[in-house]
Amino acid sequence: MAWFVLVVSGVLEAVWATALGKSDGFTRLGPTAVFGVAIVASMAGLAYAMRTLPVGTSYAVWVGIGAALTVGFAMLTGAESASIMKVLLILGIIGCVIGLKALH
Protein backbone atom coordinates (compact mmCIF):
# COMPACT_ATOMS: atom_id res chain seq x y z
CA MET A 1 0.00 0.00 0.00
CA ALA A 2 2.84 2.42 0.81
CA TRP A 3 4.29 2.06 -2.69
CA PHE A 4 0.93 2.77 -4.29
CA VAL A 5 0.45 5.88 -2.14
CA LEU A 6 4.00 6.98 -2.94
CA VAL A 7 3.41 6.69 -6.69
CA VAL A 8 0.14 8.64 -6.45
CA SER A 9 1.95 11.27 -4.37
CA GLY A 10 4.62 11.53 -7.06
CA VAL A 11 1.92 12.10 -9.67
CA LEU A 12 0.42 14.78 -7.45
CA GLU A 13 3.85 16.41 -7.24
CA ALA A 14 3.73 16.88 -11.01
CA VAL A 15 0.21 18.31 -10.66
CA TRP A 16 1.21 20.90 -8.07
CA ALA A 17 4.41 21.82 -9.90
CA THR A 18 2.49 22.38 -13.14
CA ALA A 19 -0.25 24.32 -11.33
CA LEU A 20 2.39 26.47 -9.63
CA GLY A 21 3.78 27.44 -13.01
CA LYS A 22 0.30 28.26 -14.30
CA SER A 23 -0.67 30.25 -11.18
CA ASP A 24 1.32 33.27 -12.37
CA GLY A 25 2.75 33.94 -8.92
CA PHE A 26 -0.47 32.90 -7.15
CA THR A 27 -2.48 35.58 -9.01
CA ARG A 28 -4.75 33.12 -10.85
CA LEU A 29 -7.33 31.48 -8.57
CA GLY A 30 -7.89 28.17 -10.41
CA PRO A 31 -4.26 27.05 -10.69
CA THR A 32 -3.54 28.37 -7.19
CA ALA A 33 -6.36 26.27 -5.75
CA VAL A 34 -5.17 23.18 -7.65
CA PHE A 35 -1.65 23.85 -6.36
CA GLY A 36 -2.85 24.08 -2.74
CA VAL A 37 -4.90 20.89 -2.81
CA ALA A 38 -2.29 18.90 -4.75
CA ILE A 39 0.66 19.93 -2.58
CA VAL A 40 -1.14 19.05 0.65
CA ALA A 41 -2.26 15.67 -0.73
CA SER A 42 1.18 14.99 -2.20
CA MET A 43 3.00 15.76 1.04
CA ALA A 44 0.49 13.77 3.09
CA GLY A 45 0.99 10.76 0.84
CA LEU A 46 4.77 11.11 1.01
CA ALA A 47 4.59 11.29 4.80
CA TYR A 48 2.37 8.20 4.88
CA ALA A 49 4.74 6.23 2.65
CA MET A 50 7.71 7.23 4.81
CA ARG A 51 6.11 5.50 7.77
CA THR A 52 7.09 2.15 6.27
CA LEU A 53 9.55 2.91 3.45
CA PRO A 54 13.04 4.36 3.93
CA VAL A 55 13.15 8.16 3.79
CA GLY A 56 15.84 8.34 1.09
CA THR A 57 14.14 5.85 -1.19
CA SER A 58 10.72 7.44 -0.67
CA TYR A 59 11.98 10.92 -1.43
CA ALA A 60 13.99 9.85 -4.48
CA VAL A 61 11.03 7.97 -5.95
CA TRP A 62 8.63 10.85 -5.20
CA VAL A 63 10.90 13.45 -6.79
CA GLY A 64 11.75 11.20 -9.74
CA ILE A 65 8.13 10.54 -10.61
CA GLY A 66 7.20 14.18 -10.16
CA ALA A 67 10.12 15.49 -12.21
CA ALA A 68 9.68 13.02 -15.06
CA LEU A 69 5.94 13.67 -15.32
CA THR A 70 6.30 17.44 -15.03
CA VAL A 71 8.82 17.75 -17.84
CA GLY A 72 7.06 15.07 -19.90
CA PHE A 73 3.75 16.93 -19.65
CA ALA A 74 5.44 20.23 -20.52
CA MET A 75 6.98 18.67 -23.62
CA LEU A 76 3.69 17.06 -24.68
CA THR A 77 1.79 20.33 -24.37
CA GLY A 78 4.48 22.35 -26.13
CA ALA A 79 5.32 24.42 -23.05
CA GLU A 80 8.86 23.07 -23.24
CA SER A 81 10.91 21.92 -26.18
CA ALA A 82 11.36 18.20 -26.71
CA SER A 83 14.49 16.45 -27.87
CA ILE A 84 15.80 12.92 -28.09
CA MET A 85 18.33 13.69 -25.34
CA LYS A 86 15.63 14.99 -22.96
CA VAL A 87 13.49 11.93 -23.57
CA LEU A 88 16.47 9.63 -22.95
CA LEU A 89 17.36 11.44 -19.73
CA ILE A 90 13.75 11.25 -18.51
CA LEU A 91 13.76 7.54 -19.28
CA GLY A 92 16.91 7.34 -17.18
CA ILE A 93 15.06 8.90 -14.24
CA ILE A 94 12.21 6.44 -14.71
CA GLY A 95 14.71 3.58 -14.84
CA CYS A 96 16.26 4.74 -11.57
CA VAL A 97 12.83 4.88 -9.90
CA ILE A 98 12.09 1.34 -11.08
CA GLY A 99 15.51 0.25 -9.86
CA LEU A 100 14.89 1.68 -6.40
CA LYS A 101 11.58 -0.20 -6.22
CA ALA A 102 13.24 -3.42 -7.40
CA LEU A 103 15.93 -3.15 -4.74
CA HIS A 104 13.50 -2.57 -1.89
Confidence (pLDDT) at 104: 82
Tens digit of pLDDT at every position of the chain (104 positions): 999 999 999 999 999 999 999 999 999 999 999 999 999 999 999 999 999 999 999 999 999 999 999 999 999 999 999 999 999 999 999 999 999 999 88
Confidence (pLDDT) at 7: 97
Dist. CA 94–CA 104, nearest whole Å: 16
Confidence (pLDDT) at 47: 98
CB < 8 Å & 24+ apart, contacts of 82-87:
none
Phi-psi region of 26 (alpha: psi -120 to 50; beta: other; left: phi over 0): left
Dist. CA 63–CA 104, nearest whole Å: 17
Confidence (pLDDT) at 89: 96
